[in-house]
Amino acid sequence: MAGRLCAQPLQDTLKEVRITEQHRDTADVRQLFTAGQQTQSIEKVYRDLYRSQSLANLLSQQTPVFVKSYGINGIATLSLRGASAAQSTVLWNGVPILNPALGVADISILTTGLFDRISLQYGSSAALFGSGNVGGALLLEQYPATFINDKLVDLTLGGGSFGRRDMGAKALWQNGHWRISLRGFYQHATNDFLYTDGLQEERKLSNAQLTAGGGLLTADYKLGKQRVGDQVLSVQLWYQQYQREIPPALFEQYSVKKQTDASLRSQLSWYKQGKRSYFYAKASLNREYLRYEDSVVLPDNRNHITQYYQELGWKYRLDAPEANRKYQHSILLFSPLQYAVAKGNNISSKESQFRPAIVLTYSLSAWKGRLKANAALRQEWVNGAAAPLLPGAGADFSLLEMEHQRVGLRMGLQGNVQRSYRIPTLNELYYFPGGNVNLKPEQGWNVDGGYSFVFLLHNGHSGSLLHIDHQVHAFNRNIHDWVYWLGGAIWTPYNIAEVHSRGIETDNTIRLTTGPVQWHVGMKYAYVISTTVSSYQPNDGSAGKQIPYAPRYNGQANAGCTVGRLFINYNHTYTGYRFVTVDESQYLEPYQTGNLQLMYQWAPGNYRLGLSGQVQNLWNTRYEVVNARPMPGRYFLLSLQLGWRQS
């Protein structure tokens, strides 16, 4: 299927999972209605390598998106296709986990090892995922229960430079009716690396200690008697707390700032699978607490955010599965509801947003799956006022599927068009001081399309296997009333009249097996132009200029091999100029980093041993992602994994 081809990596020993009418391998059924959109899934080997690291590290090194990191212990946000951080959605099993006051998710405090599947969906899909999904979505999921006898215990111990210590644990118990899963993590680091200050003097970073911990509990119960399960009830509880010291910026002599982030997220879900129908319901209550302290200027800001989300849905296949017709038709009707309340020192009063919606989607599969198409329509209300209708449509078409002796060839096309819409966040409207209650919602249109090419060659005599995967996607997006913060002592959000974003992305992978060695080379690259067309602010010099912190060039490359149980990889990243001001008068230089990674895995019987070592920023590059926030130079990470499994 064009744009969604994900070859099984040679080092990934998970069994292949296929989506059928009777089983789903995703916690969010809406993902079955996203034909025409580019999706990138993170391979298991990289999830294992980064399991003790944040999603900010993983995504900045393994995807062509821009991660806007404010340095050690600072917030890190995601920007897809030149969109702002508030225009990118983060979903946990289909539930949005953006901070509703900030309108963003801090991915520096999301640990990779908590999730079974991590993927990126590029481009707008506001019709399916709601207001704010302009640039794309980060999808975080746990595998659904299989309800087969299974027991698992896994312990990870790690450490590294700058006083870093990591510990992670995972336990799983599963039988014909129950699955209980528990994951936990702990991390501590002093982060006292050397950097060059504003006076070009070398100093050791101070006030940069981090202590974090948390856990995720999942319980699934199958009510039916079928193997797949005609009814399943699930409960998930996720708690974590991060205590961070905020180090000084380059223009500061010292810092005593501290920040505490705590969150308790919960989900209760149920689904019933029938022969042609699929019913589901989910409810989620998320509470977030943030405390920011700075004894120099005496603020002690405390903010409490509560968000409730629920969704009821019904999926129905219009033609009978046993009919085996040339065309297959399905519909999905669902009604999400989101309610958020913010209260704190920087909110002038207790503010809230109430956002119910109703969505209808249609899916077509034709010619034995060679054509997949869908259309969606969403109506949303914000505090009682109707938002604009949000239509969207997309299609995948397989031009060629050929299997001839030892040669395989697949070529496909895809296209997608969506209307984009984002309402201002609670902070943008009511933050004190600086909020702007007169902000208009952002809205516009997004069009994207691309092609994919897969070539397979197997030589039975030498045992070699060649796998080439090449994808190219282009996009064009116009957003009116783009929101951007401007100011000095007091920052205030304003609407920019229009922003035009366009660009091209490419994803290329070559895998070659020669005897006992499996080689891999891959490159992902994005070229994004995101410029202001017109501005409501007089004489700001922004017309025709790149949006701040939207690099034109961004890319990653991986090269290495697997020899027996040993996996070796070199990762190289490049990030281009980031303009700091709307008129491009200030900018940050491009930077490149290299990362060397090794992992050894041994599984005698029911036991598993894993060892990994990494050299991050191998070439000791001095750089800043965000102005005046230094990033660490060369550092080392080591990890030991011990596990036991009985199936």
Q: Per-residue DSSP letters for 283-321?
A: EEEEEEEEEEE-TTT--EEEEEEEEEEEEEEEEEESS-G
Q: How far apart are CA 67 and CA 56, in angstroms?
A: 7
Residue with tokens 């180090």, as numbered in its chain: 247
Q: Which residues of the chain have pLDDT under 70?
A: 1-25, 225-229, 298, 321-324, 348-349, 460-464, 488-489
For position 348, what pLDDT does the model report?
Answer: 62
Residue with tokens 């949000």, as numbered in its chain: 390
Q: What is the DSSP letter of 22?
A: T
DSSP H or E run through 429: helix 426-430
For position 293, what pLDDT does the model report?
Answer: 92
Q: Does residue 391 fall inside a structural domain? A: yes
Which pair of structure tokens corresponds to residue 265?
Answer: 């997220």
Distance of CA 301 to the CA centre of its chain: 29
Which sign, positive or negative, has the C-alpha torsion 98, 101, 106, 109? negative
Distance of CA 98 to the CA centre of its chain: 11
Which pair of structure tokens corresponds to residue 350?
Answer: 């207790």
Q: Does residue 16 fall inside a structural domain? A: no
Q: How far apart are CA 318 and CA 333, in angstroms?
A: 13
- CB 149: neighbour CB atoms within 10 A? 11
Q: What is the DSSP letter of 431?
A: B
Q: How far apart are CA 200 and CA 203, in angstroms?
A: 9
Q: How far apart are CA 120 and CA 301, in angstroms?
A: 33
Q: Does residue 135 fall inside a structural domain? A: yes
For position 544, what pLDDT does the model report?
Answer: 95
Looking at the whole model, is its pTM more than 0.75?
A: yes
- The CA-atom distances, in angstroms, between 632 and each of 65, 72, 249, 257, 557 are 20, 8, 13, 19, 21
CA neighbor of 288 nearest in space, from 99, 85, 115:
99
Q: Does residue 1 fall inside a structural domain? A: no
- The CA-atom distances, in angstroms, between 423 and each of 210, 427, 439, 580 are 34, 12, 9, 25
CA neighbor of 169 nearest in space, from 117, 218, 215, 112:
215
Q: Does residue 2 fall inside a structural domain? A: no
State the residue range of the domain holding 276.
29-646
User: How many alpha carbons fall within 13 Å on the CB side of residue 590?
Assistant: 11
Mean pLDDT over the full length of the chain: 90
Total domain count, the chain: 1
Distance of CA 242 to the CA centre of its chain: 20
Distance of CA 170 to the CA centre of its chain: 22
Which conformational region is residue 405 in: left (phi greater than 0), alpha (psi within -120 to 50 degrees), or beta? left
Q: How far apart are CA 570 and CA 512, in angstroms?
A: 16
Q: Does residue 21 fall inside a structural domain? A: no
- Spatial neighbors of 31 by CB under 8 A, at least 6 apart, are 121, 139
∠ CA 134-364-361, nearest 5°, is 45
Q: How far apart are CA 29 and CA 332, in angstroms?
A: 9
Q: How far apart are CA 637 and CA 613, in angstroms?
A: 6
**CATH code for the domain in which residue 532 is found:** 2.40.170.20
Q: Does residue 116 fall inside a structural domain? A: yes
DSSP H or E run through 153: strand 150-160
Strand, coil or helix: 48: helix
Q: Does residue 9 fall inside a structural domain? A: no
